[in-house]
Copies of this chain bind each other. A is one copy, B any other.
């Protein structure tokens, strides 16, 4: 690494390492008590999908939100792990030939390239299902009411009116189902569903896991929504400017498919300004917490400044 590692980087990396360990432990081949069997091929493909590294931004947000609100790390990690499993499943299904048809992800072959389409479909299904199992696992760290609230929120953020619905709108925006040009409002709505909902929920999940008040939960949700919107614009800027090598996947594919982004609609300069405005909005949502919210504020800045 040629660049300096800041305390924030170190904290982000430490959380990512912990999440990686948890995922490894969760996805081994040994059947748990009450399980009939864990098919080897399925487990290997699930590990390929989930242990591919990445920044683990979503569980980091959950963990730091739990810490901010005085909850136990274990509860935040559990919530973050559930959110990360949903994120991992969505990448596997989105990469399928019938969907975005991507061969590479984080510098490795995608699951359907390394295994096959059928296995990739099942890997996604199994990761999604496992997310809900993790969210309801019994433990001293979260009451049944907290676990039920996590499941309800995760399902809402991920489902037909959240991430999955956003992916449906995204396919339509490619013109698959008839000509389509999106207005700025439609692009924002699509992005709020496709990537925003789960990022926003990651922060809210940390608050739920900490047993936070409805007011504090709403603050973390508002923070997460602003961060999620900024994340997607930053992603669109990266897709336009970065190299395939830096991203570990193909670039410029969105433009090629004719998908509208806010970079097209607003122009590059205004898109960058919008990112900055959203980071300020995220910061403002956490103002009541004062300096204790510093890590999450840095996370919002990191989201728009990242290079991959």
Chain A positions within 8 Å of B, measured between CB atoms, are 31-32, 34-39, 41-43, 46, 89, 93, 96, 98-99, 116-119, 121-122, 124-126, 128-130, 132-133, 135-138, 143-145, 147-149, 151-152, 154-156, 158-162, 164-165, 167-169, 171-172, 176-177, 189, 192-193, 197
- How far does the Cβ of A111 sit from chain B's closest Cβ, in whole Å? 12
Contact B132 A132 (CB under 8 A): yes
Contact B168 A155 (CB under 8 A): no
Interface centre among A132, A137, A143, A165 (most CB of B within 10 A): A132
Residues of chain B with a CB closer than 8 A to A151's CB: 132-133, 135-136, 147-148, 151
**Contact flag A93-B119 (CB < 8 Å), given A144-B145, A164-B42, A165-B126:** no
Contact B41 A172 (CB under 8 A): yes
Contact A125 B124 (CB under 8 A): yes
Contact of A98 among B39, B117, B160 (CB under 8 A): B117
Residues of chain B with a CB closer than 8 A to A136's CB: 148-149, 151-152, 155
The contact sample of 6 A-B pairs, CB cut-off 8 A, is A31-B161, A39-B165, A122-B171, A129-B159, A133-B155, A147-B151
Residues of chain B with a CB closer than 8 A to A46's CB: 160
Contact B133 A156 (CB under 8 A): yes
Given contacts A125-B125, A126-B159, A136-B149, 17 further A-B contacts (CB under 8 A): A36-B165, A37-B161, A37-B165, A38-B165, A39-B160, A42-B164, A42-B165, A46-B160, A93-B121, A128-B128, A129-B158, A132-B151, A136-B152, A143-B144, A144-B147, A144-B148, A144-B149
**Contact flag A155-B130 (CB < 8 Å), given A99-B121, A124-B125, A160-B38:** yes
